[in-house]
Structure 1
Amino acid sequence: MLSTQEQIKTELKTHNAVLVAHYYVDAKLQTLAEATGGIVSDSLEMARFSQNCDAHTIIIAGVKFMGETAKILSPEKRVLVLNSHATCSLDEDCPIDQFSELCDQHPDRIVVVYANTSAQVKARADWVVTSSSALNVVKHLKDNGEKILWAPDKHLGHYVQTQTNANMLLWQGACVVHERFKADALKVLKTLHPEAAVLVHPESPQSVVNLADVVGSTSALIDAVKNRPETTFIVATDNGIFHKMHEVAPNKKLIEAPTMGEGADCESCAHCEWMAMNTLENCLNTLQIGNNEIFINTDICKKAKNAIQKLLDFTV
């Protein structure tokens, strides 16, 4: 009997489909994506790859907003997610009605939203950014004299604000994974591993960011493990990223930054419960049944694409 992986490979060929996976999903899905002509990347490159590939059907191993972004950029393609319930706290924290109300109250501000938002929120924005592009985009807008309304991640927004000194009004959303990292516990861990470089995603609280040797996107943190001279790294982001880090730097030691939240049963519980919903089994099921397809209103799609396209043109 064929393994689940082999069955998925057959189904991908049958449906002219490609598997596109985020760094935070199960390692087996990441391996399978790359083995079948897909990609493992951050959310922007997932969407860009989906737009540029020849496949008719895009299978997104990630969360709902990633599927929506792929559909926005490729409305003519069939886009499926592995689990329709896999969402994101940042997306959930920014409902379109409340967000639109705030935008209407500040018509003088350029609306910049993080990629971790719904298609409706993206459609209300002037710009969509990612963690790897936010600094450069906001600096560009500041240099042009613009004031900014930022949503939804308050920690990433605060980090960008401190780095650029831009005039920014911040929505108060947060990532449930990154917000768990604890600065006091990280300080203790640093004393136990003084040789280690600390890598922090900017969705983390400022007190954690302040302890970092490198602050950056998922791709930037992977590059740091690969290219920096240290042999030990303390990593403050979703632990799904360790698969790719081990792949690019197999001889380096990786330590999870501590979360130790109240009631936690582990020192670090840094893994997104929604990313964990992505499995080989529901990948096969999605391909066979064709469920969990992403549909977006045409007008919303066009408006959201304009905001995303600004970023794509800016980051070429």
Structure 2
Amino acid sequence: MSSLAKTVPLELLGRIDKLAQSTQPAMSLDDEEKATLTAKIKRLLKEKNAQMIAHYYVSDDLQALAEETGGKVADSLEMANFGAQSDADMLVVCGVRFMGETAKMLSPEKTVLMPDLNATCSLDESCPPKAFAEFCAQYPDHKVVVYANTSVEVKALADWVVTSGNALEIVTHLKEQGEKIIWAPDRHLGHWIEKETGVEMIRWQGHCIVHDEFQTYGLMELAKEHPDAKIIVHPESPAEVVDLADVVGSTRVMIEAVQNLPDQKFIVATDYGIFYKMQQLAPEKQLIVAPTGGKAGSCISCAHCPWMAMNGLQNLADCLENETGEIVIEESIRLKALQSVERMLTFSREKGLVKTNP
């Protein structure tokens, strides 16, 4: 059985819940307003030699716009890789703050903007740098492996950064090297990696407020209603939910499953923002949102990240026009964090886990 680092303090979990509940989603727009803003954003992107990088969990409007303008819609691994290889002068990251930090870390010469710098991540918030540094100091003979969903300060403490798309391969590599591992911050992803690789890790006990809400009761009831549906689950979900899945994997793995499997119906346990790309690639498939409530479930996220929802056309246009929302990182921290991120990207490129930009 693995060692658990520590439970996230209740006061910290309470602060994360309050942060989530206090978020302001991007404003709702009618079709005319969307068209006006879209035209403006396209013009500004061209004028400033800027590219959009958007995550699968942001709105359909932003994903479509990124693709139309030569940007990128991807998981966090491909986002980081694309930004590092881009020849744009400016990157506009539509996602959450750690994604913007990673883009800046890899491209310090570029201006990196975000529509809203307050768009954080519950995994990031559940792993404070000071507390994590104190914990790591207790295990000086361990390699520190942190999930990409962490601050640049936490990445600066790490030996390796991983994403859900490359974590299994990197942890297996470390196992083959005989390394002992500290894992942070997502407890569920860490448990899944342990189960898949046979590695015992000391796990920090953070979690994603979206995936942590998926529950077995509701999922099993939904599966009874749709017995012909394949269940696909992101490994940030609780272990008992993962155990019910036909496919477990990163956002890219989940999208490829919907696209390539012959089944016509899928119950999807991740942020429903991913449905845009899934339906784009497999328009004939039926997608069903996995339930986030059980018999006594409480929904904080309702299968959509409240911080991803802060990205919108209006604040995207504003940040481009005024060059606000700029990511700034202290150089000494950037250089420390860069080592662990570059190690991840080099490994992933060598293993063919990310593509070279055309």
TM-score range, shorter chain: over 0.9
Q: Counterpart in 1 of 2:165? A: 132
- Shift, 1:12, TM fit: 0.6
- State the shift of 1:280 in Å: 0.4
Match of 1:282 in 2: 315
Between the aligned partners of 1:16 and 1:120, the Cα distance in structure 2 is 29
Aligned position for 1:204: 237
Contact 2:101 2:329 in 1 (8 A): yes
Aligned counterpart, 2:17: none
Report if aligned partners of 2:67, 2:73 keep a CA contact under 8 Å in 1: yes
Aligned pair partner of 2:335 in 262, 286, 302: 302
Alignment of 1:1-316 (within 5 A): 3-260=36-293, 262=296, 269-316=302-349
CA distance in 1, matches of 2:259, 2:196: 25
Name the amino acid aligned to 2:188. H
In structure 2, how many angstroms separate the alpha carbons of the residues matched to 1:109 and 1:198?
36
Residues 142 and 167 in structure 1, CA contact (< 8 A), matched pair in contact too: no
Residue 315 of structure 1 aligns to a residue whose secondary structure is helix
Q: Distance in 1 between matches of 2:142 and 2:297?
A: 41
Distance 1:176 1:281 in 2: 26
TM-score, normalised on structure 2? 0.86
Shift of 1:180: 0.2
**Mapped contact 1:123–1:300 kept (Cα < 8 A):** yes
For 1:201 and 1:98, locate their aligned partners in 2 and report how far apart those are by CA, in whole Å: 27
TM-score (normalizing by structure 1): 0.97
TM-aligned CA deviation for residue 167 of structure 1: 2.3
| Residue pair 1:114, 1:152 contacting (<8 A) in 2 also | yes
Give 3-state SS (helix, strand or coil) of 1:124's partner. Answer: coil
- Match of 2:117, SS? coil
Taking the aligned partners of 1:313 and 1:52, their CA distance within structure 2 comes to 13
Percent identity, please: 55
Q: Secondary structure at 2:137's aligned position in 1?
A: helix
Higher relative contact order by CA 8 Å / sep ≥ 6: 1 or 2? 2
Alpha-carbon distance, 1:263 to partner: 7.0
SS of 2:328 mapped into structure 1: coil
CA contact (8 A) 2:213 2:299 kept: no
Residues 1:265 and 1:183: Cα distance change in structure 2 (over 3 Å)? closer
Letter in 1 for 2:75: D
Q: Distance in 2 between matches of 1:86 and 1:265?
A: 19
Distance 1:47 1:53 in 2: 10
Question: What do residues 104-132 of structure 1 show as CA deviations (whole Å, max 9, x unaligned)?
Answer: 11001100000000000001000000001
3-state DSSP class of the match of 1:105?
A: coil
**In structure 1, C-alpha distance between the alignment counterparts of 2:127 and 2:325, rounded to whole Å:** 22
CA contact (8 A) 2:45 2:320 kept: yes
Q: Which runs of 5+ in 2 are unaligned?
A: 1-31, 350-358
3-state secondary structure, aligned to 2:183: strand
CA shift for structure 1 position 264: 5.4
Letter in 2 for 1:154: R
